[in-house]
């Protein structure tokens, strides 16, 4: 009996999720170029920050090993409680001097409404930079280059 309930709730949740994703979304190509630091690959989290300055959605995660996620303390406070699924929005860590490309999906209705895009970075046994890069989510801003303050040298974006 219980399993049937679980199953139906899962189906319901999935449908809900699907209906969300099917809403108009903007795809943005993103290039992260790292600084030349030495050490392990960096964990980088890209998050959507709402006008109140709170985490609203995790956009992309570089770094697949979740045992380190708690080191990104600010984001962990948001993510750690619910542990929303990160399927399809994770990539590898990025080491010093390397670059990585990814494609984000951003809810089009949130562009130009006071939301922000935040990049935070952490390296095992090194610093945590939050934010490393942060900018207002506007159509114009989605095709610029931003210099980072921490492990990120710069971030470039290009709408698809």
Q: Using CB under 8 A, list all residues that contact other proteins.
A: 27, 29, 31, 36, 38, 91, 97, 99, 101-103, 156, 158, 160
Closer CB to other proteins, 109 or 160, in the complex: 160
Q: Of 149 and 156, which CB lies nearer to other proteins in the complex structure? A: 156
Smaller CB separation from other proteins, 21 or 109 = 21
- Return the number of other C-beta atoms located less than 10 Å from residue 30's C-beta: 19
**Phi, psi (deg, nearest 5) at residue 129:** -110, 120
Query: How far apart are CB 29 and other proteins at their closest, in Å?
Result: 7
Nearer to other proteins, 53 or 88 (CB): 88
Locate all alpha helices (DSSP H) within 22-134, ordered by sequence: 73-82
**Shorter beta-carbon distance to other proteins: residue 136 or 158:** 158
Q: What kind and span of H or E run contains 8?
A: helix 2-21
- Minimum distance of other proteins from residue 31's CB (angstroms): 5
Residues 95, 100, 106, 111: what is their CA dihedral angle, to the nearest 10 degrees?
A: 90
Shortest gap between Cβ of 51 and other proteins (angstroms)? 28
CB of 36 to other proteins, least distance (A): 5
- The Cα 127–Cα 81 span in angstroms is 23
Nearest approach, Cβ of 32 to other proteins (angstroms)? 11
Alpha carbon distance 54, 16 (integer Å): 23
| Tokens linked to 154 | 């710069």
């Amino acid at each position: 009996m219980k399993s049937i309930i679980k199953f139906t709730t899962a189906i319901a949740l999935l449908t809900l999720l699907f209906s969300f994703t099917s809403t108009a979304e903007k795809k943005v190509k993103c290039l992260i170029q790292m600084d030349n630091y030495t050490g392990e690959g960096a964990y980088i989290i890209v998050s959507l920050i709402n006008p109140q300055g709170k985490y609203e959605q995790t956009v992309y995660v570089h770094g697949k090993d979740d045992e380190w996620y708690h080191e990104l303390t600010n984001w962990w406070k948001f993510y750690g409680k619910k542990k929303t699924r990160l399927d399809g929005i994770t990539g590898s860590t990025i080491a010093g001097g390397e670059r990585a490309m990814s494609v984000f999906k951003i809810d089009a209705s949130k562009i130009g409404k006071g939301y922000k895009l935040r990049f935070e970075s952490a390296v095992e046994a090194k610093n945590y930079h939050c934010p490393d890069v942060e900018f207002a989510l506007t159509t114009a801003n989605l095709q610029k280059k931003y210099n980072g303050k921490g492990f990120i040298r710069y971030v470039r974006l290009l709408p698809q």
